[in-house]
Amino acid sequence: MPQNLLDFDLAGLTAWFAELGEKPFRARQVFHWIHQAGVADFAQMTDIAKSLREKLQQQAVVQAPAINFAHVSADGTRKWLFEVGVGNGIETVFIPEDDRGTLCVSSQVGCALECTFCSTGRQGFNRNLTVAEIVGQLWVAQHSLKAEPNRTTGEIAERPVSNVVMMGMGEPLANFENVVTALGVMLDDHAYGLSRRRVTVSTSGLVPAMDRLAERCPVALAVSLHAPNDALRDQIVPINRKYPLRELMAACRRYLVHAPRDFITFEYVMLAGVNDQPEHARQLIELTRDVPCKFNLIPFNPFPDSGYEKPRAEALRVFREILQDAGYVVTTRKTRGDDIDAACGQLAGRVADKSGRVMKRIHKEAA
């Protein structure tokens, strides 16, 4: 079976080249061709010795996940569905803006955490993505978008993807080693050269893994909070039963010692009548008083049979103003790509559920 070179960071590729009897600078050359030039055909790597090119053609491939389809929203948002095995597909979203291009990357096929308002979680869980499947999403997006002019300026960007958020399908920190290796590729100046401040990992609150990320690869951190107290969070974000809010806030404070930004972003999906009342905003102020942070409020994006509704505009306004009056920076996420089901919380892909969670939920709802 040929070795997929997208599975390697530079250190891993260098070690693999050493096994082939090749020098480290050859690994750097090939790494550059793959990630910066977007070349998958070894024959096109013109400054590589012919003998090495032939060796690579026999023993290696550069293979990103196959594209099943690509959709473009009316607002310019793009969504790809990538095939990652029989019955399994992952979704990746690119959000273009005037000053940046953000790629939302998936880390798992499905998700095992079962947050009740997330369509990905309702699909069940199949497996973790490999490094090649994670990096491959960026590789495809970066090099396919390079050929297209900016919708606003008409210019062709050398690096259309300036920001990466690990907020697609799955819980990134539940696939820790593969995600950290993929992050290393994204940050490497020989590859994509992204700033740590422009790469964000989102977690629902896997506390031990947050500590490990701080030590291994501190990037910007977003925490999917969604509730201001344990009783409510236990219901809608079940991982809270294992790592309650007191432990989660302590982990956030520890992370900030290493983080490239001096704040944590708390993501908060607003669910009408569930977590969008003024008392919830006041509880958030008490909860996060000792954690430098900003809030990103996300109006719920409906999907079939979710059981939740979008908050009223007035409820969202009051909630936001309570936080702002307390001195917090608060943003409200614009809904992008909802006409192609690419908005936050809508990514579902295709999951051949191995966890049995879907059937358990169906039986529970039927009981």
Q: What whole-number percentage of the chain has pLDDT above 70? A: 89
Instruction: List, by residue number, the catalytic residues.
Output: 91, 344
Backbone angles phi, psi at 166, to 5 degrees: -85, 75
Where is average pLDDT lowest: 81-85, 304-308, 316-320, 326-330?
304-308
**How confident is residue 306, by pLDDT bands cut at 50, 70 and 90?**
confident
* 103 CB-contact burial (10 Å; exposed 0-12 / middle 13-18 / buried 19+): buried
Who contacts 239 (Cβ-Cβ below 8 Å, separation ≥6)?
A: 113, 204, 205, 206
CA 250 – CA 260 distance, rounded (Å): 18
Over residues 124-164, the pLDDT tens digits come to: 899 999 999 999 999 999 999 986 766 666 666 667 999 99
pLDDT of residue 58 exceeding 90, the answer is yes
Q: Residues 43-73, buried b or exposed e (16+ Cβ, 10 A)? A: eebeebeeebbebbeeebebbbbeeeebbeb
327: left (phi over 0), alpha (psi -120 to 50) or beta: left
Q: What is the DSSP letter of 123?
A: G
CA 223 – CA 294 distance, rounded (Å): 11
Please give the model's pTM, rounded to 2 decimal places.
0.91
Q: What is the DSSP letter of 199?
A: E
pLDDT of residue 102 exceeding 90, the answer is yes
Identify the pLDDT of residue 347.
53
CA 106 – CA 91 distance, rounded (Å): 7
CA 291 – CA 310 distance, rounded (Å): 28
Who contacts 204 (Cβ-Cβ below 8 Å, separation ≥6)?
A: 113, 115, 171, 223, 224, 237, 239
**How confident is residue 168, by pLDDT bands cut at 50, 70 and 90?**
very high
Q: Please provide the distance, in angstroms rounded to a whole number, between the alpha carbons at the two ends of the chain.
A: 48
pLDDT of residue 366 exceeding 50, the answer is no
Output the CA torsion sign for 168, 169, 174, 175.
Answer: negative
Over residues 171-216, the pLDDT tens digits come to: 999 999 999 999 999 999 999 999 999 999 999 999 999 999 999 9
Where is average pLDDT lowest: 80-89, 111-120, 149-158, 274-283?
149-158
CA 178 – CA 19 distance, rounded (Å): 22
156 or 260, higher pLDDT = 260
On whether the CB atoms of residues 13 and 31 are closer than 8 A, the answer is yes
Q: What is the identity of the amino acid at 109?
A: V
H helices, E strands: number in the chain = 11, 14
Average pLDDT over residues 40-63: 96
124 or 297, higher pLDDT = 297
Three-state DSSP class for residue 156:
strand
Q: What whole-number percentage of the chain has pLDDT above 90? A: 77
pLDDT of residue 363 exceeding 70, the answer is no
CA 158 – CA 178 distance, rounded (Å): 27
Domains and CATH numbers, the chain: 3-61 (1.10.150.530), 66-366 (3.20.20.70)
On whether the CB atoms of residues 198 and 152 are closer than 8 A, the answer is no
CA 297 – CA 320 distance, rounded (Å): 8
Identify the pLDDT of residue 185.
98
Average pLDDT over residues 288-302: 95
* CA distances, 287 to each of 236, 244, 333 (Å): 17, 12, 22
